[in-house]
Amino acid sequence: MKITKQSLYDFVEKKTTEKRKDFFNEIDNYMDANIKTHLEDQLSGINHFAKKLTKLADELENTLEGGHDYEAWSRKSNVRDLRNVSNIKNDIVSEEAHTIKRAVLNNRNYSKYNADELVDKAKKDLKETISKIDNLSTLKRELDATIKSSTTGKQAYDALVKLGIDMEDFEGAESQLPAIQKLSVDPCLVNGNCN
């Protein structure tokens, strides 16, 4: 196995990206279970509008198709607009859940949809996970600095092992074996010993 500094950078990047993804999945699961359900409850009053708008879009589409006047782009656009507006609850839930997630991650306030207390609770519940994300970024910078300060890939590898990094699934760089070729002309022409 050939150990290069680039293969070690790639290894550290891969490991930290996987862990970061795990931590964000944990946050997303928390948001789905606690925040999104709260937002959906807060916006439940919109449901009857959505049903009416969907019914109106269906009726308009059927009427236009029945009158053979549904080929025009503007007519189709009007029906699409009604369907988009009928989906407003899902749009609001998605947008606000994302805003709340950013508020929690950045320790900011959020005061819409009666979610103040939920956001404060989320900050407390997710404090350890958010701290792990921050620590992971710091760790990656430090590991990259260790690799950079090493003279060779082997030296960097040994330093990472000494620091306690599990290198079990490190694969290293592919060794480039020299290609074996046959020459069509005798190399003596270059060597100068042809007789």
At residue 183, does pLDDT exceed 90?
Answer: no
Of 13-17, 81-85, 157-161, which gets the smallest average pLDDT? 81-85
Please state the separation of Cα 140 from the chain's center in Å: 17
| pTM of the model as a whole | 0.71
7 CB burial (10 A radius; 0-12, 13-18, 19+): buried
**Predicted pLDDT of residue 173:** 67
Six-digit token string for 185: 């002309």
The mean pLDDT value for 66-70 works out to 65
**Predicted pLDDT of residue 184:** 61
- Give percent of the chain above pLDDT 90: 50
Longest dimension (CA), the chain: 99
Core vs surface per residue 163-193: b (16+ CB within 10 A) or e: eebeeeebebeeeeeeeeeeeeeeeeeeeee
Amino acid sitting at position 12: V
The mean pLDDT value for 70-94 works out to 81
Q: Which SS3 state, helix, strand or coil, does residue 174 take?
A: coil
State how far the alpha carbon of 9 is from the alpha carbons of 14, 17, 145, in Å.
9, 12, 10
